[in-house]
Amino acid sequence: MKCNEFVGLIPHFVDDSLEQIHYEGFVKHARECSECKDELEIHYMVQVGLERIEEEAAKSFDIEGELHNRLQRYERIADKQFKRSVYMKIVLVLAHLSAIISVVQVVSVLL
């Protein structure tokens, strides 16, 4: 993911509307690009901080920790999606192999 794409997705991350197809690239870029990670932290802290001040003025909160937790959650979801796609490909390959073996067995019986 390029920096300009990452920055364009920050508002969706902040309001938790980022599409799952972007989770892996977004988290990876946040971990690899310190400038974009700083930009994300600023946007996240400003937006979430303002919302918290309005909603829960008396409570203390850890916005940086929440950002870290959300990035980890997105990373776990992206990992599950990747594993699911790999498992599906394996199942499809096994199904195709099973079909081929069945056809070979039928042909060998007929011959």
Would you give per-residue pLDDT tens digits along the chain (111 residues)? 899 999 999 999 998 899 989 999 999 999 999 999 999 999 988 888 777 776 665 555 677 888 888 899 999 998 998 899 899 999 999 999 999 999 998 888 887
User: Which residue, 36, 16, 32, is CA-closest to 77?
Assistant: 16
CA atoms of 37 and 14, how far apart (whole Å): 13
- Dihedral of alpha carbons 50, 51, 56, 60, sign: negative
Entry pTM: 0.63
CA atoms of 18 and 72, how far apart (whole Å): 14
What length does the chain have? 111
